Structures are given as C-alpha cells and as structure tokens.
C-alpha cells in the first residue's frame, strides 16, 4: 500500500521517542565523560593543594602552606620566568605564523607546492619532541655552526657562550616545535573567509592594510585565539627545551613539577598546578572583557558557524 500524501500546511511529524532517548543517552554519556575526565581531576587537584602531605598519604586538615611554599625560594621566580618565556615565544609565533598562514590560505594557489607545505606542517607532530629540540645543540654550541661562522668571519675571537644553555636557547628551541600549532588554526580560519568579502573591500577603495585590519583580522580571530591556546598551554608543560637547551641553568615550571613529585611533595605540586589554573582563568576573563569592549567577546567563534 502506498503512503497517503501529507496534506498541505501540516507540520512534520515529531521525532520518535526512541531517537529522543538516544540523544539524551548520548548527552548523558558525554557529560559523565567530561565530569570524570576533566572536572574531577581539576577538583582533585584543588583539594590536594590544601592538604598536608605525609609521604604517599595525606592529612585531611586544611592548610594553605603548599601555596605559601610556592612564593618562597626559587619557585615564584620559576613561575614568573616560565610565564615570561611562554608569552614572548607565543608572540613571536604569532608574528611569524600569521603572515605565513595568510599567504598559504589566500596567496598560494592549489597545487603541489601547497600540498608539500601542508605536509611539512604535519610531519613535526609525528616526531619526538626531543628529536626536534636536540638538533639545536650542534648549532648553538661552542663548536657549533653559528660560533664557527662567527669566528671564521672574524666577527668574534672566541665562542659566544650565551647561545646555548640560556634563556635564548630555550626561546629558539620552543619556536620550531610549536610553530605548526599556531599556523594550523589560523590557516583554517583564514581559509573559511569568503574571497568575495576581500574583493568587495578592495572595490570599495580599501587599501591592503585596511582590508587586513577590518576584514581579515576580525574574521580570523577564532583561529588566532585557538592558535594562542594550542601554543601557550602545551608550552607551559614543556620540559624538553629547558632540559636539553637550558643545561640545568634555566629551570621552568615543568621541571619544578618533576622536582616536587620526586620529593613526594604532592600538595605543593598541586598548589603549583592550581596557581597556573588560576592564571589561565584570569587571562581568559581579561581577554573576554577586552573583546567585549571592542564588540567581540561571546561571539568570537560566530565566524566558524555555517
């Protein structure tokens, strides 16, 4: 028997109860996974940070001594040094990555060249972080390529010592591994910008700088925000560059975590992590307020909607 046609003006039949039940079950499952995998570890970190440790066990009394320990000795200096290095490297990454991503998305035609460059941006994710960092030691060392070139050209009479085992070396070691993390989100965001908008801006008499400022940058803001997040946050936990290029003379937060865990000072390690979490939240609030004042804020990712 053929189904009767639906009369004009009638509304579509509501979804079946089984489909609604499946959607609710999926939402409930994802919520449980989020609570167990994300929220519960964060809450546990905060709880442990206000306890007193005794070896592998805890004394269930509230104490803020772990937070006080962060601001003594070298730990607060380590935190501030790490935040400064991460901020500087993230800014350098953006300055280098944005023009490259813009050219890759809008200035380079589809073809083998573009495909090869995209592959080169993927390859670093499959390499060991240590392998991507150790290559700088024979370049920056006392007998490395740079010092050899400087002495051969007569610019210096002796090797330059601060190239390796210094903050400069850590900056250099962090730029390369996290460059793709900044490029990819910006490239995807710029690729989604309609070319007609750019052409319309030029037809209305806007210069290239005005088009970049008033059209490209606002529409690319989701990718810029994602690039900053994907670059800065993993960098805070990086201990490869500081270990291989710092030479024990420049310590970062990740090494501080390792030292506290080896000493079984778990409350202090949790307090250090909670402090960084507070820095993340404060930074996000300040960025949100700044974007809202400029007319952005909650709708920053609206450009990604189709």
Q: Tell me what pLDDT residue 184 has.
A: 93
What are the Cα distances from residue 294, in Å, to 116, 198, 209, 300?
A: 38, 22, 19, 11
Span 256-302, pLDDT tens digits:
787 888 888 888 888 888 888 887 788 777 766 766 665 544 444 44
* Three-state secondary structure of 126-143: HCCHHHHHHCCHHHHCCC
**What is the C-alpha to C-alpha distance for residues 286 and 292, in angstroms, rounded to an integer?**
10
Structure confidence at residue 186 (pLDDT)? 94
Question: What does the pLDDT read at residue 214?
Answer: 87
- Delimit the domains of the chain by residue range: 75-250
CA nearest to 204, candidates 44, 272, 196 = 196
Res 268: pLDDT? 84
CATH 1.20.120.850 fits 75-250, yes or no: no
Instruction: Find all residues with CB under 8 Å of 238, minimum gap 6, and list them.
Output: 129, 174, 177, 252, 254
Question: What per-residue confidence (pLDDT) applies to 73?
Answer: 62
Specify the length of the chain in residues. 306
| Torsion (CA) 283, 273, 223, 95 in degrees, nearest 10 | 80
Per-residue pLDDT of the chain (306 residues; tens, 9 = 90+): 444 555 555 555 555 677 777 888 888 888 889 888 888 888 888 888 888 777 667 777 888 888 887 777 667 788 888 889 999 999 999 999 999 999 999 888 888 888 888 888 888 778 788 888 888 888 988 888 898 888 888 888 888 888 888 899 999 999 988 999 999 999 999 999 888 988 898 888 888 889 988 889 888 888 888 888 889 888 888 888 888 888 778 888 888 787 888 888 888 888 888 888 887 788 777 766 766 665 544 444 444 444
How high is the pLDDT of residue 108?
83
Give the per-residue pLDDT at 13: 52
């Amino acid at each position: 028997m053929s189904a009767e046609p639906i009369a004009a003006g009638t509304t579509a039949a509501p979804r079946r109860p089984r489909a609604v039940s499946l959607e609710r079950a999926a939402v409930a499952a994802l919520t449980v996974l989020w609570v167990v995998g994300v929220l519960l570890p964060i809450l546990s970190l905060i709880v442990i940070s206000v306890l007193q440790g005794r070896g592998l066990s805890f004394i269930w009394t509230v104490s803020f001594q772990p937070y006080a320990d962060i601001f003594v000795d070298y730990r607060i200096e380590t935190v501030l040094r790490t935040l400064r290095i991460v901020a500087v490297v993230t800014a350098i990454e953006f300055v280098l990555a944005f023009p490259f991503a813009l050219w890759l998305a809008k200035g380079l035609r589809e073809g083998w060249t573009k495909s090869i460059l995209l592959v080169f941006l993927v390859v670093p994710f499959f390499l060991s972080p240590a392998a991507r960092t150790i290559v700088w030691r024979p370049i920056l060392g006392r007998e490395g390529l740079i010092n050899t070139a400087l002495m051969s050209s007569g610019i210096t009479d002796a090797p330059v010592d601060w190239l390796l085992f210094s903050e400069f070396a850590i900056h250099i070691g962090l730029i390369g591994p996290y460059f793709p993390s900044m490029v990819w989100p910006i490239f995807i965001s710029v690729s989604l910008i309609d070319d007609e908008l750019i052409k319309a801006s030029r037809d209305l008499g806007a210069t290239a700088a005005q088009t970049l400022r008033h059209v490209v940058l606002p529409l690319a803001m989701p990718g810029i925000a994602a690039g900053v997040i994907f670059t800065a946050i993993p960098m805070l936990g990086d201990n490869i560059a500081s270990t291989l290029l710092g030479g024990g003379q420049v310590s970062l937060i990740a090494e501080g975590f390792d030292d506290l865990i080896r000493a079984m000072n778990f409350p202090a390690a949790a307090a250090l992590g909670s402090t960084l979490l507070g820095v993340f939240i404060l930074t996000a609030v300040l960025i949100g307020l700044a974007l809202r004042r400029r007319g952005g804020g909650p709708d920053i990712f609206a450009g990604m909607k189709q």
